[in-house]
Structure 1
Amino acid sequence: MKKLFSLFAISLAALLVGCSDNNVPQEGQQFQQLPDNLSTYRLPQVTEVFSLNCGHCRKMEEVIPQLEELTNQSIGKVHVTFNESAQVGAMIYYTAEMQLGGKPDHDMMTELFAAVQLGDGSTLTEKKEAIDQVFHSRDLISPYELDEAQQTQLFKAMHLADEITQKGEINGVPTFIVNGKYMVITSGHQDEQGIANTINYLINQNK
């Protein structure tokens, strides 16, 4: 009887824990506060920090439409510039953004990832042609065709992105900035639903 009672007690305790509010995102596991408040940069409420050279970012792009639906947000984008390959990716991304007046749509982002991450056996000429095609198919100027004034505009956008990632001390991508105050730890989630839950939780911390 004692063994049966102990088993019952353990099962009851497990049930109570399972019914508790343990699905609330935890600081240090699913998110962390940023060292600096980035609200002054007027970022969208939810902003993805990414790089076109990052394979994980490419996979994240596949679920961005679902995340936007689950969070009821139009997710903004900031391209990192923390190494040489990221700087090249940022030049490509911001060349598109400055001509479009905003972030590229999901289809264009998918094509940009594919062009930048063309197979290892591809030549520089082939990669350039793939990038040119993404822009020219939309009647846009490619990063290789910018005049001096456009290059100045591009470098201003890149400098701003660099400031944001440095002040936020963001050293890994992809991640999401919420309310300019929090960073989502994407590795602390199993799927896009979990990421969306954390984003929604953090959005409500601003209310």
Structure 2
Amino acid sequence: MSDIAGPTAADVRTAVEALKAALDGHLAAIERRAAESDDDTAVREGEVHAAFDELAAAGEAYDELLYQVYDEVTPFEIPGGDTLPEYVGPDSPGSLSVLIRRDYTVVEPQRLLFQAQRIVDLDPESVEIDEERAEDAGRDLHVALGVIFGEFEPDEIATRHQEFGLEEGDATLWVTAGDEPSEPGEWLSAPFEGADPEQVVCRFDVSTAFDDGEFD
């Protein structure tokens, strides 16, 4: 039997007081940055980043102790360094790129074929594929997918995926920063080739792995 004592309720109380102090420090750093002149922006930005890291560490420590002592967790999640590398992009971005990936599983192909054929039957002129291929919308999944994704915006498909026989998988959204906007047509041949994790301003992930505890 180990003689090492586990964390106590007092440790949890100490951790939550440290978290409160880190919250105050984070807000104070943000307020100082907002009040300073442009000449001090870089310095204040560094203070905000440092306060953010301190807040993240305090939140993680409190959450871990809370679970160990009381078998409870907090509803907060502060993204850490394991998700993205340290940001090295411009402090004042001149352009933004939004990169979205959503995965689906085709669980009811007949439903997908039916919906595609229905679109073709209702308004053949709205279909963004040639007339000859459109005739196969109710028989060919490749054609059906072209009809569905050509007719509806990705966000609408995401909210109505069950109507099209699809099941949601993992999803992610990256907002990346740049200095200058891209030239028209510059990246169309390889749209995701230049995605640089070090340029990501913020990232949002959706996955059942988070619910199951399979992914940290």
Q: Is the TM value for this pair above 0.5? A: no
TM-score (normalizing by structure 1): 0.28
Name the structure with the higher strand share.
2
**Larger CA Rg, structure 1 vs 2:** 2
Name the structure with the higher helix share.
1
